[in-house]
Amino acid sequence: MRTTKTGKGHMRKTGIAAALLALAACSGGKPDMPKLALQPILYFDVTRNKLYGSGCNFVAAGDGMGAVFLAMEGRGLIKLDDHILAIPAAADAAPLPQGAHTHYAGPLYAATLVPVAGGKHKTLGVVSVFTGHLLITDARGQTVYEATGDTQCKPM
C-alpha cells in the first residue's frame, strides 16, 4: 500500500500504530509474539519420514488427539507447513522415559518438554503417561509455542 507523509493514509496508520502501542502497554508492555501453528504428526508422517523409535509424544490439551511434538533419543520433531522439522537433542538435557530428553536445541528453534509438578503420572508396563509442559522458543529465545497437555512415552 502506498502512502504519503501527509494525508489521511499516514494519519490512519499513525493512529493504528499508536493504538497498538497503547494496547501493548496495557498488557505489560509486551505485544503478543507470533505463535507457531504446529500440526499434528500423523501416522502417514511417521511412515513417510521413517520416524520410528522409542520416545515421548506430546498432545496439547484441547487441541485434539494428534501429537504436535515427538521427543526421541537424538531429536525432537515438530510439523510446520506440512514438513517435519528435526530439532537436535541438547547436551544439557535431562532424561525422560524411553530415551527421550527434556531439551532440544537447533538453529531455528529450541524445545523443552518437562513433567508438570503435581500433574498426573502413571506407568503401565513400558508405557509412561504424565502431564507435560512444552515450550518452544525461536532463535532469539522468544516463546513461539507453549502448551500443557498429555505426554505418553513408549517404544514406537
30-71 pLDDT, tens digit each: 555 568 999 999 999 999 999 999 999 999 999 888 999 999
Same domain for 12 and 67?
no
76-126 pLDDT, tens digit each: 999 999 999 999 999 999 999 999 999 999 999 999 999 999 999 999 999
Same domain for 9 and 74?
no
For CA atoms 11, 16, 22, 25, give the dihedral sign.
Answer: negative
Q: Other C-beta atoms within 10 Å of 48: how many? A: 10
4-25 pLDDT, tens digit each: 444 554 444 334 444 444 444 4
Q: Determine the structural domain holding residue 2 and report its residue range.
A: 1-31
The grid cell for 10 is: 499516514
Residue 18 belongs to a domain: yes
- Tell me if the pTM is above 0.75: yes
Same domain for 19 and 56?
no
Burial of 99 (0-12, 13-18, 19+ CB in 10 A): middle
Same domain for 61 and 26?
no
Residue 38 belongs to a domain: no
Alpha helices per DSSP H over the chain: 8-26, 43-48
Separation between Cα atoms, residue 146 and residue 143, nearest integer Å? 7
As beta bridge partners, residue 101 has 95
Residue 57 belongs to a domain: yes
As beta bridge partners, residue 40 has none
Same domain for 22 and 53?
no
Same domain for 48 and 7?
no
Q: Do the beta carbons of residue 68 and residue 53 sit within 8 Å?
A: no
Same domain for 62 and 137?
yes
Separation between Cα atoms, residue 28 and residue 108, nearest integer Å? 27
Residue 37 belongs to a domain: no
Count of domains for the chain: 2
Same domain for 9 and 56?
no
Residue 36 belongs to a domain: no
